[in-house]
Copies of this chain bind each other. A is one copy, B any other.
Amino acid sequence: MTDNISLLDYNERKKEKLMRYLDISEIKTFESRKRARLINCLTGHKSANLVGTKNTQGATNLSIVSSAVHIGADPALMGIVFRPDQTPRHTLNNIRATKVCTLNHISEELVINGHQTSARYPENISEFDEAELTPEVLNGFNAPFVKESKLKIALKLVREIDIIENGTHFLLFAIEGVYFPQDILEEDGHLNLYKINTASITGLDGYSSPKKLGRLTYAKPGSFSNWLKE
């Protein structure tokens, strides 16, 4: 530090020095679990959901996913990435057999139960029992919902897209119907997920409770959007 730079400048430079660049060649040298933790954090905070299925004998299965992604509103579609090498393999087999599944929001209160479904159980064990969650049949849909979940979606398989690069599967689903407490539906169609404490996931094992910043007005050229008064 010399007389020519201010303390502010010095601190800025110090901060810049502490920026880290990790090249993929360096990441590849990480031990595999460490690498998985890092890479799983990169997209940011992720959605937290439980996928409910049944096999053709009627045995139920439940698995946690952080990979549900919005595809479109008309037709109403979403996608979910499934890994072949973990518990959801049962889930994947069940979806292939029955062509349906349910997606259930994980609220703050259900995080520990939801996380438990990622343990490796044999196929004859239901993760519902092990996670102390209750399978629920609604409107005769052929996959179990999570009774304790506050937002539940009935999904019908449209098609399966193979990600040959790593053996994962991107499944495209049509939304058949949605269950939620009436008071979270705002007049303009937006859902107030704070009222049902929907959680989020970071990396492999991090959980958060998203707190409201607000909703912004429709973005138009010329001036910045404002926070909607609610």
Contacts and interface: CB of A to CB of B under 8 A. Distances in A.
Contact of A153 (B42, B111, B166): B42
A58 interface: no
B185 A20 contact: yes
A213 B209 contact: yes
B105 A81 contact: no
Nearest to A206: B215
A1 interface: no
A71 B171 CA distance: 12
Contacts of A96: none
A38 B203 contact: no
A93 B24 CA distance: 26
A209 B206 contact: no
Contacts of A70: 39-40, 42-43, 46, 66-67, 81
Contacts of A177: 21-24
Contacts of A49: 43-44
A99 interface: no
A35 interface: yes
B77 A165 contact: yes
23 contacts: A15-B181, A20-B185, A21-B177, A30-B189, A35-B189, A38-B191, A39-B72, A39-B175, A41-B191, A42-B175, A42-B191, A43-B70, A45-B193, A45-B200, A69-B81, A72-B83, A72-B165, A77-B163, A111-B216, A112-B225, A115-B216, A158-B165, A205-B228
